[in-house]
Structure 1
Amino acid sequence: MQISLRRRTVASVVLLALGTAVITAPPGAQAAPATDARVDIDTRAGLATVTDTAVGVNHAIWDAQLGTPAVADLLKDAGVRMLRYPGGSYADIYHWKDHTAPGGYVAPNTDFDTFLAGARRTGAEPMIIANYGTGTAQEAADWVRYANVTKGYDATYWTIGNENYGNGHYGAAWEADDHADKSPKEYAENVVAYSRAMKAVDPTIKIGAVLTMPGNWPDGIVGGGDTGTWNQEVLARAGAAIDFADVHWYPGGGTPAETLTKPAQIQDAAYLLRQQIDRYAGGTPGRIGISMTETNVEVGRNTQPGALFLADVYSGLLAQGVFTVQWWNVHNGLGTVSTVAGQTDYGDYGLLSSGNCTADNSTCQPALNTPFAPYHALSLIGDLARAGDQFVGTGSDNALVSAHAVRRAGGDLAVLLINKDPDAEHTVALNYNGFTPGAATPVVETFTNGAGSVTTAPSGTAGSQTLPPYSIRLVTLHPERVDAAAPRAPGRPTATVTDRTATISWPAGAAGLKYEVYRQNGGISAQLGETTGTSLTVRNLEPGHRYTINVLARDGSGRPSPASPPLTITTGTPAGAACTVKFRDTNDWGSGYVGSIDITNNAAGTVGGWTLAFNWPTSWQDLSSGWNATWSQSGRTVRVTSDAGLAPGASTNVGFVGSYSGPNVLPGVFTLNGTVCTSE
């Protein structure tokens, strides 16, 4: 940013029955109010485990409050465990040795040692940005030596540059870059050089390279002279030299309502980014982590839309395995002043007030360091996402109510509920799978529109919560009982996949265990089968479909383990089908692309007239136009029809222009006259 995831011993089964357990009110409880939303929570659907660096924010050298005790303590109170320095695009003009940033303002008392002192007071790990734009590998290596050898700071995480794709290579330039060659190839080669120099000083550090978030510019664009997108080039050339990918996400939205729909894109965006890393970087899948070091909104930055967005985005990203999420930023200053949901919004990217006024003094922010609404949302995330907790599956039937949940090591369940409706409260029926809450009235933490703090009080029941308009609520539940002797969670499963089957395998646990395999489906998982072995073959899957799998262990007394880490698989298409489809994205401009489809008839007879069909994987993809056939779209289904014959072995080509406003998950399954084709 510039300033500004029945007993049976047979190992091959198909079982798609849903396993649900709905909590009922305890004896003697009053009838719950009428509900208009249902949220399901499934502890059998294990997602990512929270890291000790999960909750983060950005610091900047032009912020005179950086490192002060007041700010450090506010961040500590919010549960912040990672701090980024020296601040966005300033990183590519900042020279740490003399604490200067030619062309930018450097506030007093914002040097590296002051930053580290504040980080230690907060209890946060540093995330340091080495100067790529106007710096050198030697300068970065010297910084590592000073930090970890001379001073013993044990700074582990270092990224090479900030938003280096914004150097003019794709037509927009805000990031300083003195390199004559501004291509991703040049950036990747320098990342390798930086990594070698920095790790020669301290081999234990982790190096991050700047990538683009799927769905955000310049994702999908191939620059002049390049052989692939920024992510493809950087990962293919520098993947072996890095430990994590560093991305930013500013999804935009012209209204608060539109902005608050954007978190629904996170699962697909994270999936695409992980696909790119695994495909292009090589090595062991999952070796390269993902950090989200900047995110914020354009509407309602200091008011409730910013708070709701923060709560939804931090939870969504952490659940998908991002090891740190960092808000931009702690202080920023006045922007465009407006009124949002009845509250004054200062257009300020900061979590805390800078205490400044407009040029004519007509509008002033509250006193310095007064928390804005997103700060209070951050404090709820700090309470929700504690190191070692495992996010679990949730689902909501109301688009205005989001839900996230974690299972704590001691057995407690924490559920975060977000009401995105600015005008009406919503009463939510909470239903649990794999968990039975105790009968006590839960103590909840709530942050409402216009409030100056989070309130804590007993409210509702384990089965029903009434959410005020534009509110965030954290409900923490104790289990009905804790089985201290329950089995440990199985290790991460692996799979061998075809078009309609998947053989799931996992490490063996203690003797005498039975294993249950589940397919995630929001807050209600589907059991695929069970076995006393350590693998299970699942059949009758859909070609080209994405599945997320968990394994649970159960001992002879029926006590279940927590869920294994998740495994996401995608089935293929049948080999040797009667038709083959080759699909290519031939020209992408970041919000749309030209798609080319070659259709080949592999059958012995002529196809006299045909219909090709496919589905858009997401709701934000659309057909703009098509050629060489008749194109139509109904819902997410696209149909391409032609009266022309297609002889045995013959091929034909059709094309279209597609548009998208989020991560562009390409279609992978095509049918010709109802037959699933082999996809290439």
Structure 2
Amino acid sequence: MAAPNTAAPNAPAPNATALNAAAPNAGTPKVAAPGEAVRVDVDVRAGLASVGVGALGVNHAIWDSQLGTPAVADLLKDAGVQMLRYPGGSYADIYHWRDHTAPGGYVAPDTDFDTFMAGARRTGAEPMIIANYGTGTAQEAADWVRYANVTKGYGAKFWTIGNENYGNGHYGSEWEADDHADKSPKEYAANVVAYAQAMKAVDPSIKVGAVLTMPGNWPDAIVGAGDEGSWNQEVLTRAGSVIDFVDVHWYPGGSSAAETLTKPAHITDAVRLLRQQISRYAGTNADGIGISMTETNVDVGRNTQPGALFLADVYSGLLAQGVFTVHWWNVHNGLGTVSTVAGQTDYNDFGLLSSGNCNADNSVCQPPMNTPFAPYYALKLMGAFAKPGDRFVGAGTGDALVSSHAVRRPNGDLAVLLINKDPDNARTVALNYHGFTPAAGAPTVVTYTNGADGLTTATSGTAAAQTLPPYAISLVTLHSANPAPAVKTPARPTATTTDRTATISWPSAGPGLKYEVFRQNNGVAEQLGETTSTSLTVRNLEPGKRYTVNVVARDGSGRTSAASPPLTFTTATPAGAPCTVKLRDTNDWGNGYVGSIDITNNTAGPVTGWTMTFAWPTTWQTLGSGWNATWTADGRTVRVTNDNALAAGATINVGYVGNYSGPNVLPEVFTLNGNVCTSA
């Protein structure tokens, strides 16, 4: 954030199985008709990421006079905050910790590093510290590590090199301070290496992070003048060997509250693309690099219910995908342009807590200082939902206006978070459980409703049915009728694939066990097969399709383990196909790109008149225009036709402009006259 009030493997398998029929809720959810029950599936066999210490975070800033005060520290502790980021967004790149100054910016009294650490300790939160890249040096950062961890013994583990350093003018927009003559990602990467080496020479136990951009957000995929690749590619290639995590921010925007609340659907693809970039460019260290999300917020309804609904949905979605910490911007921020959102006064304030200030003519004033805004209560609900040691599991919904998330507790209990994004209508939810049997009795339900000044707790509804108020978040906690899993959890599987098969393998979890392999499908685990071996070959898969699978172990008494960590793989396209297609993104500007496609005829004879088809992988991608053929689009399906002959062994090039408003997942599967082509 720039400043206050700115938006800134494997032995052959002994047996095989075919892919089963689709699971419930497969496909894109629709909006339920009035009075229609919304089906929600929760499946503990569809294992996702575990919740670590420090998962729930928020930003502190040195221009905030309340930073570190007992009142604020206690409010954050009560909300379950586990990590605090300091010294605050873009201020980090002008901040000098030793004399507590930020030339060109305002520094509030009593906001120095020791005061911050005292507040963090009172909260019970780990620090996430931003070292000054823009106007600082590697030595200054190393001295800060020495002061924090050697002199004071704070044990500060996480350190990021700079803030949004791609905003230094290299790509045009300039909001981040950067005194380096060279503003390129190459220069930033070189300094990340220097900073990391200097800082770890003082304390080898610290974790150092580099700044990247979230896929689908500016300047992702843009190649600057003189660069060999995008910001992420350059930084990972040159500094991937020395970093422990990458740090991204996400302000997905939206012209309305309703549009804003669709953005969490981008998370799975965005995180997957980011992990692909890390794997592709960071070298041998790639598997050890984590992801932090240290800033997020909304454009509409920042301190009212849209902000609260977004916070709950985004924190849950990111943590379920293995992002190790998620931070809201900010604790306090201040009054902006005032409006009414869903019947509530919205002060356009990024803060969780009121700053208590007024506009220029005092005609509008915020509530008293430290009054919690709606997102604070959503964060507090998250603190009750996702606790360290919990494991996210599959949860899928049949209604586009209802989001669902679930965690399994270490004791076997289940917590389900339900979000109703309809500002006007309640939703009746029919809950269906897979691999879990709820204990008898009504569950405990904690709810936050539009305009409320706190959470309400009640024993209401049943394990099978709940009513969600309009624009509300409900946390349903269920005790298990069965004991916690007693069988050792299998390790993450691996896979070797062809276009139609996948051999999934895993280490033994112990003697005498049977293993069941499940595919995740919108929150439901679809069983692919079972075996007493430690590998399984699955057949009849679709070429070029992404699959996520888990392995569950079962002993002779019928007791099951928790699901293994998930494995996501993509099947290949067929080798030796009659055609080959190669797609390249040749020019990207942040919300669109030029796609260049080479089509090769691999047959011994000419193809006279041809049609190539492909599908956009997401709903936020569209066709702008195309050339060297006739281009048409029908929903997500694109058809490219040409009446000319394509000679044996010949290649033709066609191109298009593609538009996107989220993570840009390139098409991977192409057909030519009905034949699936080899993708090059």
Which interval holds the TM-score relative to the shorter structure? over 0.9
**Is the 1:504–1:535 Cα contact (8 Å) retained in structure 2?**
yes
In structure 1, distance between residues paired with 2:62 and 2:263? 30
Partner residue of 1:12 out of 16, 20, 44: 16
Whole-angstrom CA distance in 2 between matches of 1:446 and 1:35 = 21
Q: Which residue of structure 1 lines up, in the alignment, with residue 531 of structure 2?
A: 531
SS at match of 2:597: strand
Native 8 Å contact 1:57 1:325 kept in 2: yes
Aligned-pair CA distance for 1:211: 0.2
Note the C-alpha offset of 1:518. 0.5
Q: Is the 8 A contact 2:46 2:523 kept in 1?
A: yes
Partner of 2:646: 646
Matched with 2:198 is: 197
> Following the alignment from structure 1 to structure 2, what is the Cα–Cα distance between the partners of residues 11 and 279?
33
Distance change in 2, residues 1:566/1:365 (3 Å) = same
| 1:13 Cα deviation after fit | 2.0
- The amino acid that maps onto 2:677 is C
Query: Partners in 1 of 2:506 and 2:424 — Cα distance?
Result: 48
1:544 matched residue in structure 2: 544
Aligned to 1:179: 180
Where does residue 633 of structure 1 map in the other structure? 633
Whether the aligned pair in 2 keeps the contact of 1:35 and 1:429 (CA below 8 Å) is no
Residues 275-299 of structure 1: CA deviation (Å, up to 9, x unaligned): 0001100115531000000000011
Instruction: Tell me if the contact between 2:594 and 2:657 (Cα under 8 Å) persists in the aligned partners.
Output: yes
Trace 1:137-536 onto structure 2 (pairs within 5 A): 137-482=138-483, 486-536=486-536
Q: Partners in 2 of 1:15 and 1:330 — Cα distance?
A: 48
Query: Following TM superposition, by how much is the alpha carbon of 1:193 offset from its aligned partner in structure 2, in angstroms?
Result: 0.5
Q: Which amino acid aligns with 2:215?
A: P
Per-residue Cα deviation, 1:47-79 (whole angstroms, up to 9, x for no partner): 000011100000000001100111001001101
RMSD of aligned residue pairs (Cα, Å)? 1.3
**Deviating more after overlay: 129-138 vs 577-586:** 577-586
How far has the Cα of 1:359 moved from its partner? 1.1
Task: Work out the CA distance in 1 between the residues paired with 2:43 and 2:596.
Answer: 41
| Inter-partner Cα distance in structure 1 for 2:370 and 2:159 | 28
Query: 1 CA distance for matches of 2:352 and 2:287?
Result: 32
Aligned to 1:27: none
Task: Provide the residue aligned with 2:573 in structure 1.
Answer: 573
Q: Which amino acid aligns with 2:120?
A: A
Shift of 1:36: 2.6
Q: Where does 1:557-596 land on structure 2 (aligned, <5 Å)?
A: 557-596=557-596
2:283 counterpart SS class: coil
Per-residue CA shift, 1:15-60, capped at 9, x if unaligned? 4156889xxxxxxxxxxx9643111111100000001110000000
Provide the residue aligned with 1:661 in structure 2: 661
Deviations 1:531-572 (A, max 9, x none): 111111112211111111100000001111110000111111
Whether the 8 Å contact between 2:20 and 2:527 is mirrored in structure 1 is: yes
Equivalent pair of 1:574/1:678 in contact (CA under 8 Å):
yes
Matched, 1:611 2:611: yes
Distance 2:594 2:406 in 1: 40
3-state secondary structure, aligned to 1:314: helix
1:17 touches 1:527 (CA, 8 Å); kept in 2?
no
Q: Deviations over 1:458-492 (max 9, x none)?
A: 111100110110000000000112156x2021111
Instruction: Confirm or deny: 8 A CA contact 2:240 2:285 kept in the other structure.
Output: no
Relative distance call for 1:385 and 1:245 in structure 2 (3 A) is same
CA apart distance, 1:323: 0.1
Q: Distance in 1 between matches of 2:508 and 2:166?
A: 45
Q: Any idea what SS the aligned residue of 1:267 has? A: helix
d(CA) in 1 for partners of 2:528, 2:408: 22
Change (3 A) 1:465 1:408: same
The CA distance in 2 between the partners of 1:442 and 1:116, in whole Å, is 39
- Whether the 8 Å contact between 1:19 and 1:433 is mirrored in structure 2 is no
The one-letter amino acid paired with 2:558 is: G
Do 1:18 and 1:525's aligned partners in 2 also have CA atoms closer than 8 Å? no
Instruction: Check conservation: 1:18, 1:524, Cα contact below 8 A.
Output: no
Query: After superposition, what is the alpha-carbon deviation per residue over 1:103-132, rounded to whole angstroms, capped at 9, x for unaligned?
Result: 000001100011001101101000000000
Q: Contact 1:18/1:527 (CA < 8 Å) preserved in 2?
A: no
Q: Distance in 2 between matches of 1:276 and 1:652?
A: 29
Q: Aligned-pair distance for 1:573?
A: 1.0
Q: Secondary structure at the match of 2:653?
A: strand
Q: Give 1:29's aligned residue.
A: none
- For 1:622, the equivalent position in structure 2 comes to 622
Local SS of the residue matching 2:536: strand
User: For residue 31 of structure 2, what is the aligned residue in structure 1?
Assistant: none
Please list the CA deviations of residues 187-208 of structure 1 after superposition, one character each: whole Å capped at 9, or x if unmatched: 0010000000000001110000
Instruction: State the alpha-carbon separation in 2 of the partners of residues 456 and 279 from structure 1.
Output: 47
Q: Secondary structure at the match of 1:72?
A: helix
Give CA deviations for 1:235-265 in whole Å, capped at 9, x if unaligned. 0000001000100000000100000000000
Count of residue pairs brought into register by the alignment: 664
**1:220 and 1:417 mapped to 2: Cα distance?**
34
Report the identity percentage: 77
Specify the SS of the correspondent of 2:240: helix
Question: What aligned pairs does 1:56-71 form with structure 2 within 5 A after superposition?
Answer: 56-71=57-72
Partner Cα separation in structure 2 for residue 544 and residue 673 of structure 1? 18
CA drift at 1:604: 1.0
For residues 196 and 202 of structure 2, the distance between their equivalents in structure 1, rounded to whole angstroms, comes to 10
Residues in 1 aligned to 2:383 and 2:507: alpha-carbon distance in whole angstroms: 33
AA paired with 1:12? A
SS at match of 1:276: helix
Cα distance between partner residues in 2 of 1:396 and 1:181: 49
Residues 302, 401 of structure 1: alpha-carbon distance in 2 compared, 3 angstrom cutoff: same
> Which stretch shows the higher mean deviation, 529-538 or 465-474?
529-538
Task: Tell me, in whole angstroms, the C-alpha distance in 1 between the residues paired with 2:438 and 2:398.
Answer: 22
Instruction: Report if the CA contact (8 A) 2:19-2:539 is conserved.
Output: no
Q: In the aligned structure 2, how far is the partner of 1:199 from the partner of 1:499?
A: 45
1:348-401 per-residue CA deviation (whole Å, 9 max, x = no partner) reads: 000000011111111111111000000000001111111111101111111100
User: TM-score of the superposition, structure 1-length normalised?
Assistant: 0.96
String of CA shifts for 1:595-636, please: whole Å, max 9, x gaps: 000000001111111001100000000001000000001111
Normalised TM-score (structure 2): 0.96
**Which deviates the most, 86-95 or 599-608?**
599-608
List alignment gaps of at least 5 residues for structure 1. 22-32
For 1:540 and 1:17, the matched residues in 2 are separated by 11
Say if 2:411 and 2:484, in contact at 8 Å, map to a contact too. Answer: no
Contact 1:132–1:177 (8 Å) recurs in 2: yes
Distance (Å, rounded) in 2 between the aligned partners of 1:395 and 1:322:
20
For residues 164 and 233 of structure 2, what CA distance do their matches in structure 1 show?
16
Gaps of 5+ in 2: 6-12, 26-33
Mapped to 1, the partners of 2:206 and 2:409 lie a distance apart of: 29
Change (3 A) 1:496 1:204: same
Is 1:123 aligned with 2:124?
yes
1:421-468 deviation digits (Å, cap 9, x = unpaired): 000101011111111111210110000000000000111110011011
- Secondary structure of the equivalent of 1:359? coil
Mapped contact 1:483–1:559 kept (Cα < 8 A): no
